[in-house]
Chains A and B, each alone.
Chain A
Amino acid sequence: EPEVTQTPSHQVTQMGQEVILRCVPISNHLYFYWYRQILGQKVEFLVSFYNNEISEKSEIFDDQFSVERPDGSNFTLKIRSTKLEDSAMYFCASSVEETNYGYTFGSGTRLTVV
């Protein structure tokens, strides 16, 4: 079964440093998303991406964040100048179409900012 692949699975970084989280969506999917989940809390939408541009972003997704699809397979989330409160699980997801359901999630990257 096709999977969304995320690397690394764990990332520890010092406050103020930049991190890049990587995702390889399912190959025939056209819509890509980043979500985050602070430990024990609900999943929060960050950004959606389609046709090489951001479709929608939440209030969380401020200037500290950026996304990129540098080639035909990777989809990255960059967090500049990380803060302690950025510590969370970051999930990438993809879907075939602009769907209301059935996103396929990756297994996540646990980011710890120290």
Chain B
Amino acid sequence: GQSLEQPSEVTAVEGAIVQINCTYQTSGFYGLSWYQQHDGGAPTFLSYNALDGLEETGRFSSFLSRSDSYGYLLLQELQMKDSASYFCAVRDSTNYQLIWGAGTKLIIKP
């Protein structure tokens, strides 16, 4: 079967750094994406990794290790507005489907 595992909840302090991990098991692999979703809002695209290594976009970075079927999203200099759910998603190379993890709720405390 296809599945993505990520922690259900992570708590961090404003200004700190937090890492959200994602492991995946899919029949094919065509890249790992990360989406942010605020309560009641639409998912918004954050980052994408097709190859191993680190991709940096401002305060957010994403890492992929295909040999380990593992990736993470790193958020630096946390702000209260970063409080949201973060989803990893993998595109199966055999179809157009994005397979999503269950999401990690990031709670930021002052």
Q: In the bound complex, how far is the Cα of B87 from the Cα of A44, in angstroms?
A: 12
22 CB contacts below 8 A, A to B, read A31-B96, A41-B102, A42-B87, A43-B35, A43-B43, A44-B100, A45-B97, A45-B100, A48-B97, A58-B97, A98-B96, A100-B48, A100-B50, A101-B33, A101-B91, A102-B33, A102-B45, A102-B48, A103-B45, A104-B45, A105-B44, A107-B41
Interface residues on B, range: 20 to 34
Looking at the assembled complex, report how far the CB atom of B105 sits from the nearest CB atom of chain A, in whole angstroms: 10
Number of A interface residues at 8 Å Cβ cutoff, please give it. Answer: 22
**A25 sits at the interface (CB 8 A):** no
Total A-B contacts with CB atoms under 8 angstroms apart: 54
Q: Are A56 and B45 in contact (CB under 8 A)?
A: no
Q: Is the beta-carbon distance between B96 and A48 smaller than 8 angstroms?
A: yes
Which residue numbers of B lie inside 8 Å of A, CB to CB?
30-31, 33, 35, 41-45, 48, 50, 87, 89, 91, 95-103
Judged by a CB distance under 8 angstroms, whether A91 is at the interface is yes
Find residues 23-53 in chain A having any chain B CB closer than 8 Å to their own CB.
Answer: 31, 33, 41-45, 48
Q: Are B87 and A56 in contact (CB under 8 A)?
A: no
Chain A residues in 8 Å Cβ range of B87 = 42-43
Q: Which residues of A contact B42 (CB under 8 A)?
A: 91, 105-108
A14 is an interface residue with CB less than 8 A from chain B: no
The 0/1 profile, CB within 8 Å of B marked 1, for residues 82-107 of chain A is 00000000010000001011111111
